[in-house]
């Protein structure tokens, strides 16, 4: 079924991105408001015209409270996608687009703020007295942090397809090389070699330090409205060509919980069904994509996501990255061109949405020429996975 919406991204907003704990002059809530104001300002839209809010995954910054702080006269739409991790990054934009298309709201902002220095690190756990829901199962088996949980399908994937450690390393090197071109990236001035990657401390086998995403403070947002409104605004409109969210049977919370997914799906990112619908609704194939932002909480998930999206056969996604194949604007398929979660910042992956839109606008620090279709894959290994295809309006 085709994606029946003419909604567009018309504004991009970001705060500065810093290492977790380095944001000391503003609260996470203030960062959320700042990113939203920046998106509206970028779009040339009065902040009081914003009437909808869409976020995801444990966001502490409720739309109603953000609206009050920003002086919004009336909130017509407020929504948050269920699920853990960054699964709802693209889905938040999809929901914003559906709100605009339905007439529920006119200017909807999708956003995410994350200040790990103020609320605790996601990659670290403290002793707990009790656990409930899916945590009760995972924690009883010693799975208390995302690196531990995500290491299991990576081990299975590498075993089934005989994937070498270096293939994970090339994913990390690709993100770092792109971050070195991006002055806003946390790792902008820190180059990395394969030797440094291989010598980095082990975290949880097979993951080393540089296989794991950053822990960051910051916020980002995009403003979504109709094509009719977009025609009167100063920035080039970015069309939401296709959007999809969901997952396969038996996943539940997936990697973040019981690990009882179907065996054939276990060494995957749970993205294949979403990817099929995303391409089908756009009338496109993987070969049509010019640049891709694939959520990297951990390097192994990037390989599995690339395969679920049809960019490589099973077990062969590493070849997309070896020898710098995914680095720079001249790559066959440039991937994670701002540095992504591994080297730009970890804002629950929403910075990947901003970068995908920048590529369509032509304003990325690693700009790919003549981008017609820019793809985002958000939050692998959980449900809902979500994805976007963006293009010039």
Q: Encode pLDDT of 350-371 as tens digits.
A: 999 999 999 999 999 999 999 9
Cβ burial of 182 (10 Å; 0-12, 13-18, 19+) is buried
361, 236 contact by CB (below 8 A): yes
The CATH number given to whatever domain includes residue 307 is 3.40.47.10
**Both structure tokens of 175:** 């993100």
d(CA 275, CA 90): 12
pLDDT over threshold 60, residue 376? yes
Look at residue 120 and tell me whether its pLDDT is greater than 80: no
Average pLDDT over residues 309-330: 96
Q: In this structure, is residue 282 part of a structural domain?
A: yes
Is 138 a residue whose pLDDT tops 80? no
Percent of the chain with pLDDT over 70: 95
Does residue 172 form part of some domain? no
Is 170 inside any structural domain?
Answer: no
Taking the C-alpha atoms of residue 220 and residue 86, their distance in angstroms, rounded to an integer, is: 13
Average pLDDT value for residue range 377-386:
94
**Is residue 174 predicted with pLDDT exceeding 60?**
yes
Phi-psi category of 142—alpha, beta or left, where left has phi over 0 and alpha has psi -120 to 50? left
Provide the pLDDT for residue 130. 61
Mean pLDDT (whole number) for 298-309:
98
Q: State the chain's mean pLDDT as an integer.
A: 94
Residue 251 contacts by C-beta under 8 Å, 6 or more apart in sequence? 261, 265, 270, 382, 383
Assess if residue 2 is contained within a domain.
no
Give CA–CA dist 350/340, Å, rounded.
Answer: 9
Average pLDDT value for residue range 329-333: 94
In a domain, 143, yes or no: no
**Residue 258 in this model has a pLDDT that exceeds 80:** no
| Residue 140: CB atoms within 10 Å | 10
pLDDT at 121: 59
Residue 302 domain-assigned (yes or no)? yes
pLDDT at 125 > cutoff 80 = no
Cα(121)–Cα(268) distance, integer angstroms = 26
For residue 261, is pLDDT > 60?
yes
**What average pLDDT does range 224-247 have in this prediction?**
97
Cα–chain-centroid distance for residue 25?
Answer: 26
Torsion of CA 263, 268, 270, 272, to 10 degrees: -110
Q: Is 346 annotated as catalytic?
A: yes
Would you say residue 136 has pLDDT above 80?
no
Please give the DSSP secondary-structure letter assigned to residue 212. Answer: B
Domain limits for position 320: 8-120+213-392
- Confidence at residue 123, expressed as pLDDT on a 0 to 100 scale: 53
Residue 70 inside a domain? The answer is yes
What's the mean pLDDT in 180-206?
97
Q: pLDDT at position 129, please?
A: 63
Spatial contact of 301 and 312, defined as CB atoms under 8 Å apart: no
- How far apart are alpha carbons 141 and 288 in whole angstroms? 43
Q: How many domains does the chain have?
A: 1
In this predicted structure, what is the pLDDT of residue 142?
A: 75
- pLDDT, tens digit, 9 for 90 and up, residues 58-99: 889 999 999 999 999 999 999 999 988 899 999 999 999 999
**Comparison of pLDDT for 294 and 139, the residue scoring more:** 294
Categorize the per-residue pLDDT at 269 as very low, low, confident or very high, splitting at 50, 70 and 90: very high
Token pair of 128 as six digits = 């707990």
Nearest to 117 by CA among 225, 18, 6, 259: 18
Residue 382 lies in a domain: yes
The one catalytic residue among 107, 295, 309, 373:
295
- Does 295 participate in catalysis according to the annotation? yes
The band of 207, judged by pLDDT with boundaries at 50, 70 and 90, is very high
Selecting among 157, 210, 309, 346, the annotated active-site residue is 346
pLDDT score of 378: 97
Note the pLDDT tens digit of each residue in 39-62: 999 999 999 999 999 999 888 999
């Amino acid at each position: 079924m085709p994606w029946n919406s003419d909604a567009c991204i018309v504004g991009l907003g970001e705060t500065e991105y810093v290492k977790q704990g380095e944001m000391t002059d503003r609260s996470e809530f203030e960062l959320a408001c700042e990113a939203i104001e920046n998106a509206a300002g970028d779009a040339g839209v009065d902040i009081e015209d914003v009437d909808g809010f869409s976020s995801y995954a444990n966001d502490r910054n409720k739309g109603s409270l953000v609206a009050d702080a920003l002086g919004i006269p009336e909130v017509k739409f407020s929504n948050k996608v269920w699920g853990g991790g960054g699964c709802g990054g693209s889905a938040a934009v999809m929901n914003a687009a559906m709100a605009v298309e339905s007439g529920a709201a006119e200017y909807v902002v999708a956003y995410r703020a994350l200040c790990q220095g103020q609320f605790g690190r996601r990659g670290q756990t403290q002793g707990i007295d009790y656990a409930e829901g899916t945590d009760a199962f995972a924690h009883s088996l010693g799975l208390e942090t995302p690196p531990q949980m995500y290491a299991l399908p990576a081990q299975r994937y590498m075993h089934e397809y005989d994937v070498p450690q270096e293939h994970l390393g090339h994913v990390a090197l690709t993100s770092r090389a792109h971050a070195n071109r991006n002055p806003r990236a946390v790792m902008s001035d820190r180059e990395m070699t394969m030797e440094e990657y291989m010598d980095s401390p082990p975290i949880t086998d097979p993951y080393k330090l540089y296989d794991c995403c950053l822990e960051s403070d910051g916020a980002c947002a995009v403003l979504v409205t109709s094509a009719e409104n977009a025609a009167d605004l100063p920035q080039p409109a970015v069309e939401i060509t296709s959007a999809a969210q969901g997952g396969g049977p038996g996943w539940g919370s997936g990697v973040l919980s019981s690990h009882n997914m179907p065996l054939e799906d276990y060494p995957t990112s749970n993205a294949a069904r979403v990817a099929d619908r995303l391409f089908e609704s756009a009338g496109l194939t993987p070969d049509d994509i010019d640049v891709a932002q694939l959520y990297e909480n951990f390097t192994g998930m990037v390989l599995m996501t690339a395969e679920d999206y049809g960019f490589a056969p099973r077990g062969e996604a590493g070849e997309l990255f070896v020898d710098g194949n995914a680095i720079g604007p001249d790559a066959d398929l440039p991937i994670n061109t701002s540095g992504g979660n591994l080297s730009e910042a970890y804002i629950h992956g929403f910075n990947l949405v901003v970068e995908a839109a920048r590529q369509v606008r032509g304003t990325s620090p690693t700009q790919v020429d003549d981008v017609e279709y820019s793809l985002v894959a958000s939050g692998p290994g959980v449900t809902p996975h979500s994805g976007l295809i963006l293009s010039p309006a």
